Amino acid sequence: MKNTIIIILILLAVVFGFYLLNQKESDIEEQVEEQSSLTVEETTDIEEMDEMEEQEVAWSRKSIIGTSVEGKNIIAYKYGTGEKELLFVGGIHGGYSWNTAVVAYDIIEYIEDNKNIIPDNIQVTIVPVLNPDGLSNVAEDYGPGLNESDISGTESEKVAARFNANDVDLNRNFACDWQENAKWQNKDVSGGDEAFSEPEAKAIRDYVAINNPTAAVVWYSAAGGVYSSSCHNGVLSETSELNDLYSKASGYPSYKEFDFYATTGDFVNWLAKESIPAISVLLTTHDSPETNKNINGLKALLNYYK
């Protein structure tokens, strides 16, 4: 009898042991499933974050389109992924028209703070400084956030900073009525050894050839107005429309052509020769970027092309 009771107790212990073992295995499996599920969720979150970052990079990007005589980078800021590209260029006259670089940087910051301003079918490209050698003569550091307090130099030094490091007026170096001996107001200036002799002009020429922008706006100073472009082929009807739209939105007067004095090798007129609708926007003075006016002009063009 005693032996029988011992055997029964042993069997009960074995059965209870198996029960506990199965419970532990079940708990372990549940923990593994929970950990696996958590890992999948975390992985999904990481993948979604990576995708969002990739989309942000695709929407907003920066590239070097060339270098200056002194080897400084000429940078293009791009926003949006649409097929229609609107090109904006500032700083072609370097330190003499430093406010044209400021308005370009201001609009870059405005777009980055208001991403939904750009329609899905449009991308905006801004080259804020086409003449970095000239600008660097009056602004030791430049980039987004550039303002009047960053500018130094006497008036004569700013005038000298109009030209690139080869002492060429870049807005006389393009292939529309190009002349080696050019004029700026009543002054003799160099148009370079030939059209596109300067690396800065070559850089924007090559960019235009590859990307074929839908339209272009180039900032200069100072005369206070919006001017159509042409190169003996008449003003394109689309150019006239852009001129009037930008003028009404910004408040600048509208002009069919720049006729204050003869200009040879002009950048915007060369764009017209390439059948690209293009306008010159001349800021009113040399010391104000008139940012709000030009933001309104930008909005008008975005609305026109959307």
Same domain, 80 and 146: yes
Does 10 lie in the same domain as 88?
Answer: no
Instruction: Please state the rounded mean pLDDT for residues 7-19.
Output: 48
24 and 134, same domain (yes or no): no
- pLDDT mean across residues, the chain: 88
pLDDT of residue 262: 83
Question: Does residue 84 sit in the same domain as residue 30?
Answer: no
Q: Can you spell out the DSSP letters for 57-95?
A: HHHEEEEEEEE-TT--EEEEEEE---SEEEEEE--TTTT
Q: How far apart are CA 57 and CA 54, in angstroms?
A: 5
CA dihedral (99, 306, 275, 205) positive or negative: positive
H/E run at residue 296 = helix 291-305
Find the mean pLDDT for residues 68-82: 98
Same domain for 40 and 124: no
Residues 289 and 91: their CA atoms lie apart, in Å, by 12
Q: Is the pLDDT score of 120 beyond 90?
A: yes
Q: How confident is the model at residue 194, as a pLDDT?
A: 98
CA distance 246 to 254: 8
* pLDDT at 111 (0 to 100): 98
Total tally of structural domains belonging to the chain: 2
* Residue pLDDT, tens place only, 21-36: 444 445 544 544 544 4
- pLDDT level of residue 63 (50, 70, 90 thresholds): very high
CATH of residue 74: 3.40.630.10
User: In the listed set 35, 60, 85, which residue is the last one of a domain according to the structure?
Assistant: 60
- pTM, entire model: 0.83
pLDDT > 60? residue 18: no
Q: Is the pLDDT of residue 272 over 90?
A: yes
Report residue 9's pLDDT band, with 50, 70 and 90 as the boundaries: very low
Encode pLDDT of 167-217 as tens digits. 999 999 999 999 999 999 999 999 999 999 999 999 999 999 999 999 999
* Those residues with Cβ within 8 angstroms of residue 124's Cβ, 6 or more apart along the chain or in another chain: 78, 79, 80, 85, 86, 88, 111, 118, 298, 302
Q: What percent of the chain has pLDDT over 90?
A: 77
By mean pLDDT, which of 49-53, 155-159, 302-306 is the weakest? 49-53
Q: Which pLDDT belongs to residue 285? A: 97
Q: Which of 60, 76, 106 is the last residue of a domain?
A: 60
The answer to whether the CB of 94 falls within 8 A of the CB of 161 is: yes
Instruction: Answer yes or no: do 11 and 149 share one domain.
Output: no
Q: Do both 285 and 175 map to the same domain? A: yes
CB atoms within 10 A of CB 221: 23
Q: Are residues 119 and 22 in the same domain?
A: no
Please give the residue range of the domain that contains residue 7. 1-60
Q: Are residues 236 and 267 in the same domain?
A: yes
> 195 and 53, same structural domain?
no
| 38 pLDDT tier (thresholds 50, 70, 90) | very low
